[in-house]
Structure 1
Amino acid sequence: MPQFRYLAVNSAGARLPGTLQAGTRAEALQALASRNLTPLSLAEQRSLQLRKKRIAPAALAAAFSLLSDQLETGVPLLRALHVLSEQSADVLLRSTLMAVAAEIADGSSLAAALAARPELFSPLDVSMIQAGEEGGFLEESLRRLAAVRERQEEIRSRIVSASAYPLLLATVATLVVAGMLIFFVPRFEPLFASLRDAGRLPWPTTLLLAASSVLKTWALPLIILLTVGIFVLRSRGLLNRFSRPLDRLLMNFKGIGPVVRSVAISRFCRVLGSLLQNGVPMIRSLAIAGQATGNQILKESISAASDSICSGRNLAGPLAASGCFPADVLEMLSVGEQSNRLPTVLLKLADKLEARAQQRLDILLRLLEPALMLVMAVVVGFMVIALLMPVFEGSGLA
């Protein structure tokens, strides 16, 4: 959906810059009018950036937590937003808070102001804040939302930090092998010309020289083609077509599959439990929690469960029919539904699944590091042997 940058004036005469998403320019103008804003300028943004600007998750979680603390001490919402915008080190967060405060001063609710910025605030943020505003417990909703955000960021940071060394090792190994094939191996080709002409060049050496020639000739064009292809697919939103088969492949992949499944289901449980705890309706909560999994297969299973709940069935049954959820998770969900303690059970399940995923990831990475070293040793050893075999052949030792 196109994004528009605007400069508008509110009822108090203050100038407010900002961005919004709309299908057309007319829809953008209508959206500004619904916020009681008079546009001074409106232009569609045409960005070539591969990644859109977004607020750092840690900064957003801290903002929700600080806002909750200020509201609990009796600071009015408008004043609290102004204080947060003045203290924030994130430029995008600062400008966003100022624009949100201006819209609230014009009569908008906090949830509506955030919902107008879907590129910055997720449906989880909007729904939990809306439930808090309607139920009169906005401070508690903000605190729970901050806790969910902090927990999600903590899990992400753990996975990234645990994967950093194996990824670095794999990258260095790939660069070393590619560098040898492109720059080092071709130096030996003239030395082996006589053996090649006589048909006495060993097959490992022939294979190595062929791989070196292909890589030296096509490496740069392939890198450029791959980069341009990814850019075009991402800019046109075509990468989403590959998300479902990729998610299925990862979930069924030996070793990493249980980790991917546990992380996705833990997200579902934490988000759904937090939303239900805040009083958000079940159907709306399931839609948001399904989106939060980041997994297309699970999202479809949760959507089917939502349809079944509309027909009067429970949650555990349709999820069991999907075959994507472990038996112990389904059992706890069933018990939670029967005892009317589903939000509490979901949050406990999220903690359990996160711990399980972390344990499996640690084991997997411990096995991956020596495996990468072994693969690198085999590849380099093959290259050395392939280069030495013609020497032995020429000296009559082979």
Structure 2
Amino acid sequence: MEFTYKVRDSRGKVLRGLQEAKDRDSLIRNLLRQGYYIISLQEVNRTSPVINRELFSLKVSKKEVLMITRQFLAMLTAGFSIIKAFKVMGQKNRNRTLKKALLKIHDDIEQGQALWVALSQHPKVFSSIYINMIKAGEMGGTLETVLKNLSHHLEREQDINAKIKAASIYPLIITLMALLVIFFIISFIMPAFVNVFASAGAEIPLPTQLLLNLGLFLNKYWIALLLAIIAIALIHRIWIQTNPGKQFTDKFLLRLPLWGTFLSRIIAAHFARIMAILLQAGIPILQALEVAGGVVGNEVVIQAIRQAGREISEGKSISVPLEATAIFDTMFAQMIAIGEESGSLDSMFAQIADYYEQEVIYTINILLAAVEPVMIIFVAILVTGIIIATILPVFDLMKIMA
């Protein structure tokens, strides 16, 4: 959900903005926690029949956010002011959406807004973790250090995402090619063979007949099948946007054999890295948990993190509720407990993130090494079976001719 808000800060300055939130109450709590007096708050209506220009605007990728973070850091290091840095970045950027956002941020800062407040008005460009880290760096006078940490975080995230995509693209391409070859054989090649054999009086074997029937069915109903697949995909996409659908899907994915374990490691690495950089930036643990819980992307984990936040506010240890979720393993919880006892929770989260990121990369490398031969064998068996079923009538024809 998106809301437009109008608030007054502690100096009496009126600020306006657009922000995403789970619901109205959570946004109110967030604004009050930041010390704002709320003047007005209204949900943005996206159901209007009028065409929304944002639908046609270019998206801002994480890679582009990484690039402007590096540019911003380089300009600050070179002695540029924040205002001048955003003016230069806005003028030089080629992405219209990002260019507009950067120039708007420049104008807002020039009018006296804090950098993090100006960034928070562009939630589609800058994530909540990004904004909170900038806020901590701006208030603590460590903006350059925070930008370095943000750059490292975004680079790691890009690297892991690229490896996951590489591991999934190859089998997808091979599978699509195999399906196209099979469709061509059973829809065009096999019927031609079968007609010749049937006219010669040869009996069509059962495997060949089954594949022939499948080919005839696909030829006749492929449009209906395609529309059905598209409809199911759209219904599923709409359903997972609802809370029950999101919770069911996230829980189902975590319970899948092998994939559930791999997904848990990705979530653990992402959560630990976010917690590390937020705590190192000086953000209190409860606020860090709230931010981290909003960006992990899995509803089951989000609920667990919120429960951990509630128990910490009651004076309990963070490790106990996290371990109870069965998402974070015993080693994760034990390392957190050690970090709490030693007073080095931020560095312990960083070590946990390093460990699980290496585990994720190691698993991806194994998958990349194994997927090629497995897919080749699978496709070879499948295509060989189709070819055998295609030429089986030849033997019957040879018997008749003999």
What is the aligned length?
368
Q: 1:374 to 1:136 in 2, by over 3 A?
A: same
Q: Deviations over 1:1-51 (max 9, x none)?
A: 4799xxxxxxxxxxxxx998799xxxxxxxxxx89xxxxxxx986359999
- Give the distance between the partners of 1:44 and 1:106, measured in 2 at CA: 35
SS of match in other structure, 1:346: helix
Identify the residue that residue 139 of structure 1 maps to in structure 2: 144
Within the alignment, does 1:150 sit opposite 2:155 as a pair?
yes
CA shift, 1:380, in A, is 1.2
Identify the residue that residue 124 of structure 2 maps to in structure 1: 119
- Give the distance between the partners of 1:244 and 1:387, measured in 2 at CA: 46
Are the aligned partners of 1:250 and 1:256 in contact in 2 as well (CA < 8 Å)? yes
Identify the residue that residue 290 of structure 1 maps to in structure 2: 293
Identify the residue that residue 388 of structure 1 maps to in structure 2: 391
- Give the distance between the partners of 1:49 and 1:243, measured in 2 at CA: 25
Within the alignment, does 1:107 sit opposite 2:118 as a pair?
no
Identify the residue that residue 51 of structure 2 maps to in structure 1: 46
Are the aligned partners of 2:271 and 2:296 in contact in 1 as well (CA < 8 Å)? yes
1:204 alignment partner, one of 187, 204, 207: 207
CA shift, 1:274, in A, is 0.7
Identify the residue that residue 172 of structure 1 maps to in structure 2: 177
Within the alignment, does 1:330 sit opposite 2:336 as a pair?
no
What 5-or-longer segments of structure 2 have no aligned partner? 5-16, 24-38, 41-47
Q: 1:115 to 1:251 in 2, by over 3 A?
A: same
2:344 alignment partner, one of 336, 341, 346: 341
Within the alignment, does 1:276 sit opposite 2:279 as a pair?
yes
Are the aligned partners of 1:259 and 1:357 in contact in 2 as well (CA < 8 Å)? yes
Counting only pairs closer than 5 Å after superposition, residues 248-259 of structure 1 correspond to structure 2 as 248-259=251-262
Q: Which amino acid aligns with 1:392?
A: F
Q: Deviations over 1:163-202 (max 9, x none)?
A: 3333322222222222323333333343455699x9x532
- Give the distance between the partners of 1:240 and 1:384, measured in 2 at CA: 47
Within the alignment, does 1:64 sit opposite 2:69 as a pair?
yes
- Give the distance between the partners of 1:48 and 1:385, measured in 2 at CA: 56
CA shift, 1:297, in A, is 2.3
Q: TM-score if structure 1 supplies the norm length?
A: 0.81
Deviates more, 1:89-98 or 1:178-187: 178-187
Q: Which amino acid aligns with 2:131?
A: V
CA shift, 1:396, in A, is 3.1
Q: Which amino acid aligns with 2:281?
A: N
Alignment RMSD (CA, Å): 3.4
CA shift, 1:321, in A, is 0.9
Q: 1:364 to 1:237 in 2, by over 3 A?
A: closer
- Give the distance between the partners of 2:396 and 2:55, measured in 1 at CA: 52
Q: Which amino acid aligns with 2:365?
A: D
What 5-or-longer segments of structure 1 have no aligned partner? 5-17, 24-33, 36-42
Deviates more, 1:331-340 or 1:247-256: 247-256
Q: 1:45 to 1:224 in 2, by over 3 A?
A: same
- Give the distance between the partners of 1:64 and 1:336, measured in 2 at CA: 30
Deviates more, 1:348-357 or 1:65-74: 65-74
Q: Deviations over 1:250-290 (max 9, x none)?
A: 33333333322211110000011111111222222112222
- Give the distance between the partners of 2:379 and 2:92, measured in 1 at CA: 50
Q: Which amino acid aligns with 1:212?
A: G
CA shift, 1:318, in A, is 0.6
- Give the distance between the partners of 1:51 and 1:136, measured in 2 at CA: 38
CA shift, 1:370, in A, is 1.6
Identity, in percent, stands at 28
Q: TM-score if structure 2 supplies the norm length?
A: 0.80
Identify the residue that residue 159 of structure 1 maps to in structure 2: 164
SS of match in other structure, 1:75: coil
- Give the distance between the partners of 1:342 and 1:133, measured in 2 at CA: 22
Q: 1:45 to 1:159 in 2, by over 3 A?
A: farther
- Give the distance between the partners of 2:193 and 2:294, measured in 1 at CA: 55
Deviates more, 1:176-185 or 1:347-356: 176-185
Are the aligned partners of 1:181 and 1:216 in contact in 2 as well (CA < 8 Å)? no
- Give the distance between the partners of 2:244 and 2:57, measured in 1 at CA: 20
Identify the residue that residue 27 of structure 1 maps to in structure 2: none
Q: Which amino acid aligns with 1:290?
A: G
SS of match in other structure, 1:292: coil
CA shift, 1:79, in A, is 1.0
Q: Which amino acid aligns with 2:257?
A: K
Q: Which amino acid aligns with 1:365?
A: L
CA shift, 1:236, in A, is 8.2
Identify the residue that residue 360 of structure 1 maps to in structure 2: 363
- Give the distance between the partners of 2:352 and 2:168, measured in 1 at CA: 24
CA shift, 1:148, in A, is 1.3
Q: Deviations over 1:303-345 (max 9, x none)?
A: 2212211221111111111111122222111111111111111
Are the aligned partners of 1:320 and 1:330 in contact in 2 as well (CA < 8 Å)? yes
- Give the distance between the partners of 1:119 and 1:360, measured in 2 at CA: 31
Within the alignment, does 1:319 sit opposite 2:322 as a pair?
yes
- Give the distance between the partners of 2:230 and 2:56, measured in 1 at CA: 14
Identify the residue that residue 185 of structure 1 maps to in structure 2: 190
- Give the distance between the partners of 1:60 and 1:386, measured in 2 at CA: 54
